[in-house]
């Protein structure tokens, strides 16, 4: 294989009077462009020939730098680029592109760089105005140029962090609200943040609600809280999703997002019953305790009728009932019933509250409570002075003239005391 190597010859100035004028060089017998025929050895691999016109002469790392949020008028930490020569570099040039970047004098890159060696470019970033910035550093040699982008968001606001930052899951029955989850928003920046814009976005955003406390203006090092609740309106098996977004509407414009997930509890084909708590407490035997009011809500898209309510134990009584025989309209119709504990004996009590609304299977709720024994007369069971009850009884008998054997006026010997 035969190749042609074009050599450009430029003699250096010396003590002679050689001219750099091409005509003068020709007259002096110096060829400006000389061609040299280069032969490839017979055993050489043709694929080993490198086309310098298309192959990179050098590499630059990193290929881009994102400084994130920075303050205006404040120099960012110095950034360093590594330039590695893959071939000898004789005309290496590094230059800043953009008003916010400059080259630091501590860099080690010069005009030349031997193959297989590296040098360092040190970059300073300082922006005078706020807003998004996009500058770059241009590294060129041998007709090739590599641009390293340097981006930053310049502002005067705070830095927002959220705890918990992981996705949060809420659980609620259709038509009811979940327990709230509170997020702590902290300003870890050097300037105040706020006022905050609190929004919920996503496919099921309308089923989540957020309320903020103290988020109007948050000083550096301070924070505020946001409480979120999940309130699904209809039954469903698929989890619902949304995203809580917190945005600093001030000059800084910082923001934070937290994924939200909602799980809907399904209690029946049409309805659900609240409250979930069914412990009716402790009640004295023979007494009726305070009733617990349950609400039955129809969340189906059609009316529910034929409702029948019952309790499986006589220790529990239904004290009021607007559900039996009622017809609940679709999309939120409700009725109420109240159940109280009336224990006939002492001890733990259980029963099942059954609501049948012509469903494939009735809705059931376990009821619990405790029957408490009736107290004995405290004056006899527990004497005030801690003495024996029999002794105190004898004292009262003596004072009233009642004999030990219970016969008025009868002495120990059976005679009559006068």
- Confidence (pLDDT) at 408: 35
For the cut 60, the answer to whether the pLDDT of residue 16 exceeds it is no
User: What is the rounded CA–CA span in Å between residue 110 and residue 387?
Assistant: 107
22-26, 307-311, 398-402: which has the minimum mean pLDDT? 398-402
92-106, 171-185, 327-341: which has the minimum mean pLDDT? 171-185
- Confidence (pLDDT) at 59: 97
Considering the domain 271-372, what is its CATH architecture? Sandwich (2.60)
Residue 2 binned pLDDT confidence (cut-offs 50, 70, 90): very low
3-state secondary structure at position 48:
helix
Q: What is the pLDDT of residues 380-391, one digit of tens each?
A: 444 445 444 444
User: Residue 264: CA atoms inside 13 Å, Cβ hemisphere, count?
Assistant: 22
pTM: 0.36
Q: Do 268 and 359 contact (CB within 8 A), yes or no?
A: yes
- Confidence (pLDDT) at 37: 54
Q: What is the pLDDT of residues 244-279, one digit of tens each?
A: 999 888 766 778 899 998 877 655 557 777 876 678
- Confidence (pLDDT) at 38: 53
Q: Do 389 and 376 contact (CB within 8 A), yes or no?
A: no
User: What is the rounded CA–CA span in Å between residue 245 and residue 196?
Assistant: 10
Residue 200 binned pLDDT confidence (cut-offs 50, 70, 90): very high
Q: What is the DSSP letter of 218?
A: B
- Which residue, among 165, 298, 293, 173, has the nearest Cα to 229 in the 3D structure? 173
User: What is the rounded CA–CA span in Å between residue 347 and residue 372?
Assistant: 7
355's enclosing H/E stretch is strand 347-356
User: What is the rounded CA–CA span in Å between residue 351 and residue 371?
Assistant: 13
Q: Do 204 and 260 contact (CB within 8 A), yes or no?
A: no
- Which residue, among 296, 313, 299, has the nearest Cα to 356 in the 3D structure? 296
23's enclosing H/E stretch is helix 22-27
189-193, 229-233, 243-247, 307-311: which has the minimum mean pLDDT? 189-193
Over residues 318-340, mean pLDDT: 92
Same fold, 160-265 and 271-372: yes
- Confidence (pLDDT) at 122: 97
The ranges assigned to domains in the chain are 2-48, 58-154, 160-265, 271-372, 378-418
- Which residue, among 341, 335, 350, 349, has the nearest Cα to 319 in the 3D structure? 341
Pick the CATH number of 58-154 from 3.20.20.70, 2.70.98.60, 3.40.50.300, 2.60.40.2310: 2.60.40.2310
User: What is the rounded CA–CA span in Å between residue 170 and residue 36?
Assistant: 79
Both tokens assigned to 178: 């979940």
338's enclosing H/E stretch is strand 334-341
For the cut 50, the answer to whether the pLDDT of residue 317 exceeds it is yes
Considering the domain 160-265, what is its CATH architecture? Sandwich (2.60)
- Which residue, among 192, 162, 186, has the nearest Cα to 252 in the 3D structure? 192
- Confidence (pLDDT) at 244: 96
User: What is the rounded CA–CA span in Å between residue 105 and residue 122?
Assistant: 8
């Amino acid at each position: 294989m035969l190749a042609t190597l074009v050599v450009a010859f430029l003699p250096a100035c010396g003590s002679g009077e050689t001219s750099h004028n091409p005509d003068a060089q020709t007259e002096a017998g110096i060829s400006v462009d000389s061609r040299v025929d280069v032969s490839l050895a017979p055993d050489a691999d043709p694929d080993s020939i490198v086309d310098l016109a298309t192959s990179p002469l050098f590499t630059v790392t990193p290929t881009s730098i994102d400084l994130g949020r920075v303050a205006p008028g404040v120099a960012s930490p110095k950034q360093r680029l590594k330039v590695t020569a893959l071939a000898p570099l004789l005309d290496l040039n590094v230059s800043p592109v953009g008003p916010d970047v400059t080259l630091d004098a501590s860099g080690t890159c010069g005009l030349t760089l031997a193959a297989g060696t590296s040098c360092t470019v040190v970059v300073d970033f300082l922006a005078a105005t706020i807003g998004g910035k996009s500058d770059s550093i241009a590294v060129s040699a041998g007709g090739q140029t590599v641009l390293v982008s340097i981006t930053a968001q310049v502002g005067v606001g705070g830095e927002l962090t959220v705890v918990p930052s992981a996705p949060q899951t809420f659980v609620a029955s259709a038509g009811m609200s979940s327990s709230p989850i509170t997020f702590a928003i902290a300003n870890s920046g050097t300037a105040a943040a706020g006022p905050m814009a609190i929004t919920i976005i996503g496919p099921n955003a309308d089923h989540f609600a957020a309320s903020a406390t103290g988020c109007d203006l948050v000083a550096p090092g301070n924070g505020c809280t946001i409480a979120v609740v999940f309130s699904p309106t209809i039954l469903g098996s698929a989890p619902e999703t949304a995203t809580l977004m917190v945005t600093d509407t001030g000059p800084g414009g910082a923001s934070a997002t937290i994924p939200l997930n909602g799980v809907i509890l399904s209690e029946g084909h049409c309805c659900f019953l609240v409250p979930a708590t069914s412990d009716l407490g402790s009640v004295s035997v023979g007494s009726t305790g305070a009733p617990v009011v349950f609400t039955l809500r129809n969340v189906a898209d059609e009316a529910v009728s034929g409702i029948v309510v019952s309790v499986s134990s006589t220790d529990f009584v239904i004290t009021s009932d607007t559900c039996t025989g009622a017809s609940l309209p679709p999309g939120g119709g409700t009725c109420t019933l109240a159940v109280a504990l009336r224990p006939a004996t002492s001890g733990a009590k259980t029963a099942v509250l059954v609501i049948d609304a012509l469903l494939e299977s009735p809705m059931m709720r376990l009821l619990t409570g405790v029957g408490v024994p009736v107290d004995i007369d405290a004056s006899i069971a527990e004497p005030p002075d801690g003495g024996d009850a029999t002794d105190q009884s004898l004292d009262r008998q003596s004072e009233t003239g009642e004999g030990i054997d219970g016969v008025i006026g009868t002495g120990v010997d059976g005679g009559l005391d006068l």
